[in-house]
Chains A and B, each alone.
Chain A
Amino acid sequence: MSRRAVFKFRLYVAGDALNSAQAIANLSAFCREHLPDRHKIEVVDVFREPKRALAESILMTPTLVVHTPPPVRRIVGTLSHALTLLLALGLNTASP
Chain B
Amino acid sequence: MNPSRSSRLKSPAKTPTGIAGFDEITGGGLPCGRTTLLVGGPGSGKTVLALQFLAHGAGERKEPGIFVAFEESSKRIVANAESFGWKLSELQRKKKLYFMDAQPLPDLVQSGDFDLGGMLAALEVKAREMGARRIVFDALDVVLALLPDLAAERREIYRLHAWLLARELTGIITLKSGADETYSISQQPFGFMQFMVDCAVILNHSVVLGVSQRSLRVQKYRGSGFDEDESSFLIGSQGLEVAVAYMLSRADLKISKGRVTSGVNRLDTMLGGGYFRGASVLITGYSGTAKTTFCGAFAEAACGRGERTLFVCFDTNSIEVIRNLTSVGIRLDRYVKNGRLRMVSARTITGSAETYLVRIKALAQQHGARCVVIDPVSAWSKSGNDLTAYSVTDRLIDWSKGAGITLLCTSLLDEMSGQVEGGSPLQISTLVDTWIHLNYLIQAGERNRGLSIVKSRGTAHSNQVRELILSDTGVTLADTYTAGGEVLMGTLRWEKERAERAQHEAAEVAAKLKRVRLDAEEAELEVRLKSLQTELVAKQVEKALLVRTTQSDKGELSRGRTQMKELRGADAAIPGRKVGTS
Contacts and interface: CB of A to CB of B under 8 A. Distances in A.
B505 interface: no
Contacts of A47: 121
Q: Which 7 A-B pairs have the closest CB atoms?
A: A78-B112, A14-B117, A77-B112, A80-B112, A46-B121, A61-B118, A50-B125
B111 A59 contact: no
Contacts of A54: 100, 122, 125-126
A19 B115 contact: yes
Interface in A13-28: 14-15, 17, 19-20, 22-23, 26
B124 A50 contact: yes
Contact of B101 (A57, A75, A79): A57
A77 B111 contact: yes
B191 interface: no
11 contacts: A20-B117, A26-B112, A53-B118, A54-B100, A59-B102, A59-B116, A62-B114, A74-B107, A78-B112, A84-B109, A88-B111
A86 B125 CA distance: 34
A17 B146 CA distance: 19
Nearest to B70: A59
Contact of A76 (B108, B121, B125): B108
Contacts of B124: 50
Interface of A: 12, 14-15, 17, 19-20, 22-23, 26, 46-47, 50-51, 53-54, 57-63, 73-81, 84-85, 88
A53 B126 CA distance: 11
Nearest to A12: B118
Contacts of A74: 105, 107-109
Nearest to A52: B122
A60 B113 contact: no
B113 A77 contact: yes
A75 B111 CA distance: 7
B104 interface: yes
A25 to B, nearest CB: 11
B87 to A, nearest CB: 24
Contact of B111 (A15, A20, A78): A78
B336 interface: no
A55 B478 CA distance: 82
Which secondary structure dominates chain B's binding surface? mixed
B235 interface: no
A92 to B, nearest CB: 13
A60 B116 contact: yes
B110 interface: yes
Given A54-B126, A73-B107, A76-B108, A46 B117 contact: yes
A10 to B, nearest CB: 12
B122 A46 contact: yes
Contacts of B101: 57
Interface in B114-154: 114-119, 121-122, 124-126, 143, 146
A61 B125 contact: no
Contacts of A17: 115, 117
Given A60-B114, A85-B111, 6 more contacts: A57-B101, A59-B143, A60-B118, A60-B119, A78-B114, A79-B112
Given A46-B122, A51-B125, A54-B126, A60 B117 contact: yes
Contacts of B117: 14-15, 17, 20, 46, 60-61
Contact of B109 (A15, A57, A75, A78): A75
A58 B109 contact: no
Nearest to A79: B111
A46 to B, nearest CB: 4
A8 B118 CA distance: 20
Contact of B119 (A59, A79, A85): A59
A26 B124 CA distance: 28
A68 B146 CA distance: 26
B122 A61 contact: no
A84 to B, nearest CB: 4
Contact of B113 (A12, A14, A78, A85): A78
A53 to B, nearest CB: 4
Most chain A Cβ neighbours within 10 Å, of B100, B118, B121, B143: B118
A23 B108 CA distance: 16
A55 B100 CA distance: 10
B114 A46 contact: no
Nearest to B108: A74
A60 B118 CA distance: 5
Contact of B121 (A14, A23, A73, A85): A14
A87 to B, nearest CB: 8
A53 B115 contact: no
